[in-house]
Chain A
């Protein structure tokens, strides 16, 4: 490939409204879609677009993110040349705002100096979408843009394409210009830069609230969204687990749901997303729920509009329901039902 892109993922973002799901993990590492983490979408899109060098800039609670990414092997980023780079913020007291914080980049300016790629794509870590960045790059070059911001229906998707040399200028001159992040640069219409907006037509959802998390998850159950997010030739890659196929019992009844591997399902599941290694007992009815990895739900429970985080145990006979417009969230590792207070 002659027009090379450098991938830069800003994983520093904190969303207060996602707090329940991000107490122990960064937003980038929130489980999504039964077997993925939010960062898998941007990371896979980069890899599928031919990007071979990706830098991740995390700040808080990045242990689970590091565990998930490992050497980058699952994304083919375990390379001798280029590959996956991890640049945690060296100073937690520094306050970062917006996507693509220039201060954070400045602490790792040598990485940008050494990178051989001519262009850089700076992106957030929590957008669920499937996009090829090559047409974006072609369009950026053809249109003579300095900075291109990716949009969806007139709104920023928090992704920026820029020449690497210009990015380095922006980093080194940040104190004079007053730009603290890429959004500042892309929204300053008085600047001398040629600012462009590229409209992405496909499905894209920025997961920044619990409601948005729930809504985006439920969108997966629409065949047209599922098809668009998971085409065979542009797969969303993730850390693989050696789980067996999911086993359905003779009493199981599952409709309109996505179910990942390693599950044992004896109850009823409707309009739900079931992650890897989930057990659902006999007589239990799960509706409009998102059940994360390794959670166990015993017999005769009823759950409606609930997001159940990882490793939760729900004792037999427990009823948890919430209105669809404001789903309940059950915290990771807790025990619900008999003998416990939720």
Chain B
């Protein structure tokens, strides 16, 4: 097999419990986003656009949909004879079942996958962030710095530093300290959970970590601090651009709303960095004589008879006559009944919202309502 320069490992096992019922039957990377995408389309498209054509996708939680969605990877041009995309679920060996207990253990359990390619570098990604990034530039930076590990970082607002893993660096951007969710941060450079390792370094530390009974087998908690402690060459790679962790209903809604802003840094219309997706075969959207759409993103296969503004509408959605939808995300194949009023909500895939349902946020709270099969009855009785 041809030697690979860089192989990507995409951690896609996340449950994403703060997304509530959206991830009941769905791993977080498979959550729909932006009118036609799933979150995992972003890292997968980034790989293809960056010239990385060998990608291992580690799945664990609710893998069926994710596995069938990824398929042979043709949607991202990752159906290759040599390399391409490989779905890597946990598996059992004669002696034990290799369940993934942490991010590092997930990679460790798949050392044989990496061994067969024997790459020079390994890129580790998580499948739950929305961003466009050229990993090749990061790899070049990693090579230039002769780093053992390069960690991509982004400047976050100072008041939010306690939510992130913060990297403290010297003037050369060498990482001197890693603080997980510090109360008082010395820095506002947050780890984006994107790492490039020299393969031999990664291999050695994963094996050592596996033998350490006190380890939680996590990159952020265990591997990275140990590397710093042992004075390895760690560098921060500053990323500028749109990056969002869509881990909560609120942030998922916000990220969708961001797309409605014309000046949004995350330009989906840029043909030089397309976000690829499994394209369902749907006819163009049909805006009826009574329909009205403004400041919105609407996907194919929709039928709009009502009024839609500042809303992201996924494929196959029907909005019936008299319905008024504002600042909402309507996921695939949902049906909004006649004369419904919906504001500041996320409507789950396939949900039928009965005629006349009114969903508005409480004046006092600014919460986003999650409309799902489970909550629809409750919402109506209110």
- Counting from the closest, the 5 A-B pairs by CB-CB distance are A245-B35, A244-B268, A240-B279, A34-B284, A260-B284
* Contact across chains for B294 and A35 when beta carbons are under 8 A apart: no
Flag whether A256 is at the interface (Cβ < 8 A).
Answer: yes
Contact of A256 with B294 in the complex, beta carbons under 8 Å:
no
Name the segment of B81-89, B103-111, B297-305 touching the other chain: B297-305
Contact residues, B255-284 vs A (CB, 8 A): 260, 262, 268-269, 274-277, 279, 281-284
Q: In chain B, what residue has the closest Cβ to A246?
A: B298
Closest beta carbon of chain B to A128's beta carbon, Å: 12
Could you name 27 residue pairs across A and B whose Cβ atoms are closer than 8 Å?
A: A34-B283, A35-B300, A73-B74, A223-B288, A242-B277, A242-B279, A244-B34, A244-B275, A245-B34, A245-B299, A245-B300, A246-B285, A246-B297, A246-B298, A247-B296, A248-B293, A248-B294, A252-B295, A253-B292, A255-B287, A255-B288, A256-B287, A256-B288, A258-B284, A259-B285, A260-B285, A261-B284
User: Is B36 a contact partner of A255 (Cβ separation < 8 A)?
Assistant: no
B289 at the binding interface (Cβ < 8 Å): yes
- Taking a contact as CB atoms under 8 Å apart, the answer to whether A257 and B287 are in contact is yes
Which of A134-142, A170-178, A229-237 binds B? A229-237
For chain B, what secondary structure do more than half of its interface residues adopt (helix, strand, loop), or is it mixed? loop
A124 to chain B, nearest CB (A): 22
Q: Say how far A149's CB is from chain B's closest CB, in angstroms.
A: 29
With known contacts A241-B279, A252-B294, A253-B292, A261–B287 Cβ distance under 8 A: no
CB of A33 within 8 Å of the partner chain: yes
- Chain A residues with Cβ below 8 Å from B285 are 246, 258-260
**Shortest Cβ gap from B287 to chain A (Å):** 5
Nearest A residue to B309, CB-CB: A250
In the complex, chain B residues whose CB is within 8 Å of the CB of A195: none
Q: Tell me if A262 and B269 are in contact (CB < 8 A).
A: yes
Asked if residues A230 and B298 are in contact (CB atoms below 8 Å), the reply is: no
Q: Which residue of A lies closest to B274 (CB)?
A: A242
B294/A245 in contact, CB under 8 A: no
A64 CA to B152 CA in the complex, in Å?
A: 43
Contact (A255, B281) CB under 8 Å given A242-B276, A245-B34, A261-B299 = no
Which residue of chain B is the closest to A271 with respect to CB atoms?
B289
State how many angstroms separate the Cβ of A62 from the closest Cβ of chain B. 24
Chain B hits for A221, CB < 8 A:
286
The interface residues of chain A lying within 8 Å CB-to-CB of B295 are 248-250, 252
CB pair B294–A244 under 8 Å, yes or no, is no
**Does A145 make an interface contact (CB < 8 A)?**
no
0 or 1 for each of B301-329: is its CB under 8 Å from A? (1 = yes): 00000000100111000000000000000
Range of interface residues on chain A? 35 or more
B225 at the interface (CB under 8 A from A): no
Judge whether B283 and A245 touch: CB under 8 Å: no
- Do A255 and B291 form a contact, CB below 8 Å, given A242-B279, A244-B269, A245-B313? yes
**A250 smallest CB distance to B (angstroms):** 4
Number of interface residues of B (CB under 8 A): 36
| Chain A interface, >50% SS class | loop
A residues at B contact (CB < 8 Å): 33-35, 73, 221, 223, 226, 229-230, 235-238, 240-242, 244-262, 264, 273-275
The residue on A at minimum CB distance from B37 is A244
- Whether A35 contacts B34 in the complex (CB less than 8 A), given A253-B292, A255-B289, A259-B298, comes out as no
B-side residues, CB < 8 A to A, are 34-36, 74, 260, 262, 268-269, 274-277, 279, 281-289, 291-300, 309, 312-314
Smallest CB separation, B262 vs chain A (Å): 8
| Contact across chains for B293 and A258 when beta carbons are under 8 A apart | no
A254 touches B297 (CB 8 A): no
* Nearest A-chain residue to B297, judged by Cβ: A245
Q: Which residues of B contact A257 (CB under 8 A)?
A: 286-287
Write the nearest CB–CB distance from B311 to chain A, whole angstroms: 10
B258 CB, nearest partner CB in chain A, Å: 13
Cross-interface CB contact of B35 among A34, A73, A223, A244, cutoff 8 Å:
A244
Question: Which B-chain residue is minimally distant from A258 (CB atoms)?
Answer: B284
**B275 CB to nearest A CB, Å:** 7
How far is A73 from B36 in the complex, measured between Cα atoms in Å?
Answer: 21
Nearest A residue to B312 via CB reads A245
User: What's the least CB distance linking A131 to chain B, in Å?
Assistant: 17
Chain A residues, Cβ within 8 Å of B277:
242
Question: If A255-B287, A255-B291 touch, does A244 touch B297 (CB 8 Å cutoff)?
Answer: yes
User: Which residues of the partner chain B approach A35 to less than 8 Å between Cβ atoms?
Assistant: 283-284, 300
- Which residues on the A side are within 8 Å of B281 (C-beta)? 235-238, 240
Measured in the bound complex, the distance between the Cα atoms of B282 and A226 in whole Å is 12
Q: Which residues of B contact A274 (CB under 8 A)?
A: 284
- The reply to whether A247 and B294 form a contact with Cβ atoms under 8 Å apart is no
Q: Evaluate contact between A260 and B300: CB separation under 8 angstroms.
A: yes
Residue of B nearest to A247 (CB): B297
**CA A223 – CA B286 in complex, angstroms?**
9
The CA of A278 and the CA of B13, in the complex, are separated in Å by 38
Residues of B within 8 A of A275 (CB): 284
Q: A226-B283, A247-B260, A275-B284 are in contact. List 13 more A-B contacts (CB 8 A).
A: A242-B275, A244-B35, A245-B300, A247-B296, A248-B295, A248-B296, A249-B294, A250-B309, A253-B292, A254-B292, A258-B287, A260-B300, A273-B284
Contacts of B299 in A (CB 8 A): 245-246, 261
Contact assessment for B279 and A259 in the assembled complex, using a CB-CB cutoff below 8 Å: no
Residues in B whose Cβ lies below 8 Å from that of A260: 284-285, 300
Q: A253-B292, A254-B291, A254-B293 are in contact. Are A245 and B298 (CB under 8 A)?
A: yes
Determine the chain B residues whose CB is within 8 A of the CB of A246 once the complex forms: 285, 297-299
Q: How far is the CB of A70 from chain B (nearest CB, A)?
A: 12
Query: Which residues of A sit under 8 angstroms from B282, Cβ to Cβ?
Result: 235
| Nearest B residue (CB) for A255 | B289
Q: A253–B295 Cα gap in the complex (Å)? A: 10
